[in-house]
Amino acid sequence: MINKEFGSDFHSCNQEFILDKNQRNFFEDENFSFFLSGRSALYALLQHGIKNNGWKKVYIPSYYCQDVIENLSNLNIQVIVFRSNPNNLILDYDFFEDEETSVFVNVNYFGVRDFNTQLFKKIVVVDDLTHNINAIKISNANYVFGSLRKQLPIPLGGFLYSPNKFQLPEGKESILADQVAENKTLGMFLKNEYLQNRFSNKDLYRSYYSKAEEQLTKLYRDYKLPVLAENILERLNVEEIFKKKESNIQLALKYLKDYLNYTFSVDENSLGLLLFFDSNIQRDFIRNKLIKSNVYPAILWPNQKIDNDISYQNRFLFLHTDYRYSKEDIIYITTALKKSIQECQKQKL
């Protein structure tokens, strides 16, 4: 009997999503540079731009991963956080210094929303495509970066890409980064064994994930992608992984057609199933109900600092509907969600 859990960290990839020898890898392009994480990639890019292009300011929206913003504080660049979240993407262009020494981080939120940067003339636009890796090759930005492990079954990793073929920095070697990759890969393998009911110690595989995450928080600078993670990335059939996710999202929306008022701009490019509730009380009630059904939602992103962003964060919920799940799994996830919403409605929360 297979152990069923939905959401949370990726386990090691099944053979059906591994490339054949004659298939081309999604990332086979000379304009990529790979790093330990998305935040490492951004750090390396800004460091490179400060040194070679005289970058002086970087604009980042307030609704963002707060750790990433904090990690940039020791770079010789002014980090300017402007108020914005996925419900308010209208830019006051007069606020920004539209010069070649300024950088604008254009966050693609959840694969479905980003900023309109077309009116900028000189500012350096950097797309964060962590939530929509599939859009890399159609980006009009000067640079693109993102995390790899949010959408792909890889222990860690980040990327830089230049649609304009600008020179990219390369990362530094790190023994600790190699250790992080080893711990996370072992955790991913053991989780897969657990899900297949060939390994029973859930606490042990979780300990490897936790150890890797703890180590990773100390490694935000310009470190390169460890060889172990690079070898895994080279073998992944990224196109098939994304196609499966897209079909799962379409299937989930079909089963949730009577509950679309709870969904948030979901289409096939969405990171997953995005849900938005009237209150924090509703969100937490449904989240707890789902967890009891072994469906583990995520909050993107916690620890916001501005009132409007905190309010948004507290009403938002993300459900994984990625390549890991079959049609039967999507039916289970959406059924659990519908039951949770129905119970919430009965209690008039």
Exposure string (b/e) for 217-249, b if CB count within 10 Å is 16 or more?
Answer: eebbbbbbbbebbeebbeebbbebbbebbbebb
Tokens of 196: 């297949």
Check whether residue 183 and residue 262 sit in a common domain: no
- Write down the pLDDT at residue 29: 80
- Write down the pLDDT at residue 312: 94
Q: What's the pTM value of the predicted model, to 2 decimals?
A: 0.95
Residues of the chain short of pLDDT 70, as ranges, are 1, 265
Check whether residue 101 and residue 184 sit in a common domain: yes
The answer to whether position 285 is within a domain reads yes
CA distances 118 to 47, 57, 58, Å, are 25, 19, 17
Q: Round the CA-based radius of gyration of the chain to a whole number and report it.
A: 20
- Write down the pLDDT at residue 280: 95
| Preceding amide of 55 cis, omega within 30 | no
- Write down the pLDDT at residue 1: 52
Check whether residue 113 and residue 51 sit in a common domain: yes
Domain that holds residue 163: 14-19+27-236
Check whether residue 241 and residue 206 sit in a common domain: no
Exposure string (b/e) for 131-146, b if CB count within 10 Å is 16 or more?
Answer: bbbbbbeebebbbbbb
Whole-number Å distance between alpha carbons of 301 and 10: 18
pLDDT 10s digits, 301-331: 999 999 999 999 999 999 999 999 999 999 9
Whole-number Å distance between alpha carbons of 30 and 23: 17
Neighbours of 250 (CB within 10 A): 14
pLDDT 10s digits, 23-56: 999 998 878 999 999 999 999 999 999 999 999 9
Which one, of 99, 103, 88, lies nearest residue 141 by Cα? 103
The CATH number given to whatever domain includes residue 325 is 3.90.1150.10
Q: How many domains does the chain have?
A: 2
